[in-house]
Amino acid sequence: MKKAIIIGATSGIGWELAKIMSNNGYELGLTGRRVERLVSLANAQPGKVIHPQFMDVTEYEKSRQTLLELIQRMGGVDVIIINSGFGQISSKWEIEDKIIRTNAHGFAALANASYRYFIDERDANGHIVGISSLAAIRGSGLATTYNASKAFISSYMQGLRYRSMRKNRNIAITDIRPGFVETPMTEQNDFMFWVAPAEKAAQQIYDAIQKKKKVAYITKRWAIIAFLMRLIPDFIYGKNG
Ligand SMILES: NC(=O)c1ccc[n+]([C@@H]2O[C@H](COP(=O)([O-])OP(=O)(O)OC[C@H]3O[C@@H](n4cnc5c(N)ncnc54)[C@H](OP(=O)(O)O)[C@@H]3O)[C@@H](O)[C@H]2O)c1
């Protein structure tokens, strides 16, 4: 039986991905702060092996330790998906700080622990998946810190891929870049288009994981927007981005 851990599975994309992976026969370790939701998800999947685990990714050292303990409890893991994230449009430092602690520092702490686990314990036989965003492509005047944090995730994963290639240790690294997905995180957004239901986004993420893609836009057509985002000159983009 394949084993996977999803960091941040209590709602939205992580929640839907957990259901799909469980239905496809994965033994799962699921984490989040609202652990009672993970317990209810596990109870709703009778006969499936699910390990609910409390984790606050902003408690970096503790979350790394918790990840390793969860892996041990599961008797090993094949895929680690770091999906946890926070976003809010605000220039208040408390919000910016929370975004950086969750999306950048929290991500790096767990991606590093995952990489080390696959190198040290599994002879590089493993797969790390990070959920960045289309927001990783370019800076934003509105969601300045969120976009910067997602660029950090994308770049970190590219770096991990190169780090493993330099040592001829081919750990699979997948950078998932969603556009707009209907989840609690986007409930307050007033301007959105091509909004995908979380179930559809999770199914495409699952497919990208199975194919061990390096980068996947979710849904697929967001690759066109990513391409255009890179082309638009600053004097236009800056006024709208
Ligand atoms: N929805 C979109 O349009 C969209 C687009 C691009 C990228 N994304 C990314 O997709 C990922 C999932 O987001 P979503 O849209 O599904 O939103 P969501 O429903 O709000 O899910 C966020 C998940 O992250 C977890 N999380 C947040 N802060 C945490 C912390 N400090 N410690 C542990 N877990 C934490 C939450 O768990 P707890 O609150 O229970 O801890 C929850 O499970 C995020 O990385 C987001 O940036 C979303």
When divided into structural domains, the chain yields a total of 1
Amino acid 241: pLDDT: 78
Amino acid 181: pLDDT: 98
On whether the CB atoms of residues 181 and 11 are closer than 8 A, the answer is no
On whether the CB atoms of residues 90 and 135 are closer than 8 A, the answer is no
Amino acid 221: pLDDT: 96
Q: Is 151 in the pocket of ligand 1 (CB under 6 A)?
A: no
Amino acid at 158: Q
Give 162 Cα–ligand 1 centroid separation in angstroms: 27
Preceding peptide of 186 cis, ω within 30°: no
Amino acid 100: pLDDT: 98
Q: Which residue has the tokens 């036989």?
A: 125
Q: Is 219 in the pocket of ligand 1 (CB under 6 A)?
A: no
Neighbours of 144 (CB within 10 A): 15
Neighbours of 27 (CB within 10 A): 20
- Burial of 133 by CB count in 10 Å (0-12 exposed, 13-18 middle, 19+ buried)? buried
Amino acid 189: pLDDT: 87
* The model's pTM: 0.98
CA-closest candidate to residue 10, choices 32, 25, 39, 27: 32
Amino acid 183: pLDDT: 96
Where in the sequence is the domain holding 100, given as residue range(s)?
3-240
Atom of ligand 1 nearest to the CA of 195: 3
Q: Which one-letter DSSP state was computed for residue 182?
A: E
Q: Is 195 in the pocket of ligand 1 (CB under 6 A)?
A: no
The tokens describing 105, both together, are: 């520092």
In this structure, the strands spanning 172-178 and 127-131 are: parallel
Q: Read off the CATH number of the domain in which 235 is found.
A: 3.40.50.720
Amino acid 114: pLDDT: 98
Q: Is 41 in the pocket of ligand 1 (CB under 6 A)?
A: no
Per-10-residue mean pLDDT of the chain, 241 residues long, equals 97 98 98 98 94 98 98 98 96 98 98 97 94 97 97 98 90 97 92 95 98 98 96 92 78
CA-closest candidate to residue 96, choices 159, 140, 34: 140
Atom of ligand 1 nearest to the CA of 15: 43
To test the pocket of ligand 1, the residue of 19, 53, 84, 175 to mutate (highest count of ligand atoms within 8 Å of its CB) is: 84
Total residue length of the chain: 241
**How far from chain centre, in Å, is Cα 72?**
22
